[in-house]
Amino acid sequence: MAEEEYWDAIIIGGGPAGSTVARYAAEGGLSVLVIDARDPIGSPLQCGELVPTNEEMKRLCPNVPEMDDLFRTPENAISNTSKKMRVVKPNGMGMEFDFEGLVLDRVAHDEALVKLAASKGAEYLLGNRVKRVEEDSVLLSNGVKLRGRVIVGAGGHNDPIRKRYWSEKSLNIPVKFALKDGNHSDALELHFGSVAPGGYAWIFPKESGSNIGLGIQRGASKGKSLEVYANHFIDRFEGAETFRGAGYLPMSGTIRSFVKGKYMLVGDSAGMVLPSNGAGITIAMIGGRIAGEVISEHINDGLDLKEYEKRWKIQMGSVMRNSKRAFRIGNLMFRFPDWVLNIALNRLTKGMIWRAVTCRRVFWLF
Ligand SMILES: Cc1cc2nc3c(=O)[nH]c(=O)nc-3n(C[C@H](O)[C@H](O)[C@H](O)COP(=O)(O)OP(=O)(O)OC[C@H]3O[C@@H](n4cnc5c(N)ncnc54)[C@H](O)[C@@H]3O)c2cc1C
C-alpha cells in the first residue's frame, strides 16, 4: 500500500460497526479501507454472544427497515437458538419470557461480516493500530500515513477519534465472562441482585457448553473487584473452563452527536449499546448501515454527513430513549438489597420488567 494513498472512506475498526459501514459504503461504489489492530478481526472473543433473531429484532426496533438484508447471520455462526429468556431473582427463582435469540459463534459471525464487506470491494489492513487522526490523515503506529475524505471511528469504547475529538464521557461497565463445558440451563438467563451489583450476570447456553459472565458498576460494588464477582458466579457452574475473556460495555446510551466535520463515530464508540440489556452487535450494525449509506450519498451526491444522525433518530431514537430510561430506573432498583428485589420482582411487575429489558415504555407516562 502506497504512503499517502487517498481513500473515499477510511474506517478504524472492522467489528460489526466498521465492517457494516464498509459493506454499504463499498456497495455505493466508494474506495473503502478498514484498518484494524487485530488479525484476525473478532479474535480473541470478547462477548456474551447473544443476539435477537431477525424476527425478534423486527419487534424490538420496528422503525428499522429491511432487517433480513442487514442481518445475514450464516449457519456456521449460529451455535444455538433459544425461544425462552429467564430473569432470575437473587433467591434463584425465575420469571420466564418469550424471546427468540441466537447464541452465536461470535468469531465466525465477525469473520462473515468482513467477508461480506470485502465481497463488495472494501479493503482491509489488519494487524495495524491507528495511533492518531489529524485532519484528513490517519497515522499508523508503524509510521504509515493514509488519507481519507471521510474517516470513521468504529474502534469501540477506546476509539482514537472519539478519545481525541469528543469530550463527552460514557459510562463503561467492566465485564468478564467464560466459556464452560456442560449443560447449565434450558433457557437464556439473566441474573440480578448482589450477584452483579449495578449490572447483571448471564448464562447463554451454546450448542455445547455455555457462555457465562457478568458486568458490574464499580460504584455499587462495595469495594469488591469484578474478578471476585466473576469467579463467584462462574465457579457456581460445573464443567471445564475452555476460555476466559473481559471487556467494557458502554452503558450510557448514544452520545449527543456522531458527526464532526469529516469524522463520524459508529457502534460502541458512539454509545450504540442498549443500556437496558447490553445489546450492541445488532445496534452497531443498524448504525453502520446508516453511516455507510450516508457516506456513499455524501461522496456521490454531496449529501450532508449530518443526515446520519437524522436517520439514526428516525430508526432508533425512541428505542434508545426507552432503553436509557429503563436503565435509569433499573439503576435505582438494582441497588436495593436482595430481599427487596425478591419481593419487587413478582407477577405484578413482570410485564414492566420485560418492557424495560426490551426497550419499551415501562410506565404509561414515561
Ligand atoms: C464481554 C462482553 C460481552 C458482550 N456481550 C454481548 C452480547 O451478548 N450481545 C451483544 O449484542 N453485545 C454484546 N457485547 C457488546 C458488543 O460486543 C459490542 O457492542 C459490539 O462489538 C460493538 O461493535 P463495534 O464494531 O462498535 O466494536 P468492536 O466489536 O469492539 O470492534 C472494534 C474494533 O476496532 C479495533 N480497534 C480499536 N482501536 C483501534 C485502533 N486504534 N486501531 C485499529 N483498530 C482498532 C478493534 O481491534 C476491534 O476489532 C458485549 C461486550 C463485551 C465486552
CATH assignment at residue 126 = 3.50.50.60
> Which of 10, 36, 41, 233 has most ligand 1 atoms within 8 Å of CB, for mutation?
36
- As given in the structure block, the three cell numbers for residue 261 are 466535520
Whether residue 156 has its Cβ less than 6 Å from ligand 1 = yes
Atom of ligand 1 nearest to the CA of 157: 30
Residue 228 sits in which domain range?
79-104+171-249+335-357
Give the model's pLDDT for residue 222: 81
Give the model's pLDDT for residue 265: 98
Residue type (1 letter), 264:
M
CA distance 29 to 12: 19
> Which of 249, 252, 358 has most ligand 1 atoms within 8 Å of CB, for mutation?
249
* Contact by Cβ (8 Å): 274, 283: yes
Atom of ligand 1 nearest to the CA of 131: 41
Q: How far is CA 338 from CA 92, 95, 197, 335, 343, in A?
A: 11, 16, 10, 9, 9
Residue 94's CATH number:
3.30.9.10
- Number of domains the chain contains: 2
Show Cβ contacts of residue 236 under 8 Å, excluding neighbours closer than 6 positions.
none
One domain for residues 190 and 203 = yes
Which residue(s) pair with 177 in the sheet?
Answer: 213, 245
What's the 281 CA to ligand 1 centre distance in angstroms? 8
In a domain, 84, yes or no: yes
Whether residue 46 has its Cβ less than 6 Å from ligand 1 = yes
CA distance 100 to 78: 13
Q: How far is CA 52 from CA 61, 153, 208, in A?
A: 11, 25, 19
pLDDT in tens, the chain (366 residues): 545 679 999 999 999 999 999 999 999 999 999 999 999 999 999 999 999 999 999 999 999 999 999 999 999 999 999 999 999 999 999 999 999 999 999 999 999 999 999 999 999 999 999 999 999 999 999 999 999 999 999 999 999 999 999 999 998 999 999 999 999 999 999 999 999 998 899 999 999 999 999 999 887 778 889 999 999 999 999 999 999 999 999 989 999 999 999 999 999 999 999 988 888 999 999 999 999 999 999 999 999 999 999 999 999 999 999 889 888 887 777 778 999 889 988 888 888 877 777 767 655 443
One domain for residues 267 and 302 = yes
In a domain, 178, yes or no: yes
One domain for residues 179 and 296 = no
One domain for residues 60 and 193 = no
Atom of ligand 1 nearest to the CA of 215: 1
In a domain, 366, yes or no: no
- As given in the structure block, the three cell numbers for residue 363 are 410506565
Give the model's pLDDT for residue 316: 97
One domain for residues 129 and 244 = no
> Which of 109, 264, 281, 319 has most ligand 1 atoms within 8 Å of CB, for mutation?
281
Which residue(s) pair with 191 in the sheet?
Answer: 88, 201
- The sign of the torsion formed by the CA atoms of 348, 351, 355, 361 equals negative
Q: How many CA atoms lie within 13 A of 209 on its CB side?
A: 17
One domain for residues 256 and 159 = yes
pTM of the model as a whole: 0.95
Nearest residue CA, atom 1 of ligand 1? 47
